[in-house]
Chain A
Amino acid sequence: AQSVTQLDSQVPVFEEAPVELRCNYSSSVSVYLFWYVQYPNQGLQLLLKYLSGSTLVKGINGFEAEFNKSQTSFHLRKPSVHISDTAEYFCAAGFQGAQKLVFGQGTRLTINP
């Protein structure tokens, strides 16, 4: 079955510390991957995407993610977080042959001063 799993429902970190939000997928076909951010009472905003090519993808707000096919992972990282990064982060995958995206359960990132 095709699925996306975010291993951590909540991640608390201190301001200016690095962070990694984990995402794994399951698929028997080609996959393309996205990370979205959701601020309170808003829709989802695209952070970055992986379609093909370089496995290290850079996005907005200083975030980056690395596609690892052998580990079926697409973890999101930022070297130094700010209070403004407090939000819910969603990993999503599109699978070859299907137009829709499948989302993970989300990870709530909270930044402590």
Chain B
Amino acid sequence: NAGVMQNPRHLVRRRGQEARLRCSPVKGHSHVYWYRQLPEEGLKFMVYLQKENIIDESGMPKERFSAEFPKEGPSILRIQQVVRGDSAAYFCASSPPGGYSPLHFGNGTRLTVT
């Protein structure tokens, strides 16, 4: 079984451009989570989605950031008008339905804003 697939692995954007990060969960997993990891820091929760629904976006900045998990296709984390402070590793994780399941992580997308 393929694990969580994230692409691209590395993404370079100039300030003001848009960044789109994609995540395909483990087959059969209907829950997707996005986390951000800044240098020398732990993982900060951003958003939790189920198919076509945002369940918890309490960790996502109110402006410029959005996430979706459509009925078909990967989950997308979109950052509009990127700034240098958005440079980080963004990790996607997935889990099956039901409580208390471990999260399965992808290898991350490393965003660099120049």
Q: B42 and A99: CB pair below 8 A?
A: no
- Tell me how far the C-beta of A36 lies from the nearest C-beta in chain B, rounded to whole angstroms: 8
Q: B48 and A100: CB pair below 8 A?
A: yes
Q: A99 and B45: CB pair below 8 A?
A: no
What range describes how many residues of A lie at the interface?
Answer: 20 to 34
Q: Does A67 contact B (CB under 8 A)?
A: no
- Tell me how far the C-beta of B82 lies from the nearest C-beta in chain A, rounded to whole angstroms: 21
- Tell me how far the C-beta of B56 lies from the nearest C-beta in chain A, rounded to whole angstroms: 6
What range describes how many residues of B lie at the interface?
Answer: 20 to 34
Q: A90 and B108: CB pair below 8 A?
A: no
SS class of chain B's interface: helix, strand, loop or mixed?
Answer: strand
Task: Please indicate the chain A residues that have their CB under 8 angstroms from the CB of B56 in the complex.
Answer: 98-100
Could you tell me the distance between the alpha carbons of A43 and B56 in the complex, rounded to whole angstroms?
Answer: 22
Task: Please indicate the chain B residues that have their CB under 8 angstroms from the CB of A94 in the complex.
Answer: 100
Task: Please indicate the chain A residues that have their CB under 8 angstroms from the CB of B100 in the complex.
Answer: 32, 51, 94
Q: B107 and A102: CB pair below 8 A?
A: no
Q: Does A101 contact B (CB under 8 A)?
A: yes
Closest chain A residue to B59 by CB distance?
A100
Q: Does B85 contact A (CB under 8 A)?
A: no
Pick out which of these stretches binds chain B: A12-20, A70-78, A79-87, A103-111. A103-111
Pick the contact of A43: B31, B45, B55, B108 (CB < 8 A): B108
Q: A46 and B102: CB pair below 8 A?
A: yes
Task: Please indicate the chain B residues that have their CB under 8 angstroms from the CB of A103 in the complex.
Answer: 35, 42-45
Can you spell out 30 A-B residue pairs with CB atoms less than 8 angstroms apart? A6-B42, A32-B100, A36-B105, A42-B107, A43-B4, A43-B105, A43-B106, A43-B108, A44-B43, A44-B91, A44-B103, A46-B104, A51-B100, A90-B43, A94-B100, A98-B56, A99-B31, A99-B48, A99-B55, A99-B56, A99-B95, A100-B33, A100-B56, A103-B35, A103-B42, A103-B44, A103-B45, A104-B42, A105-B41, A106-B42
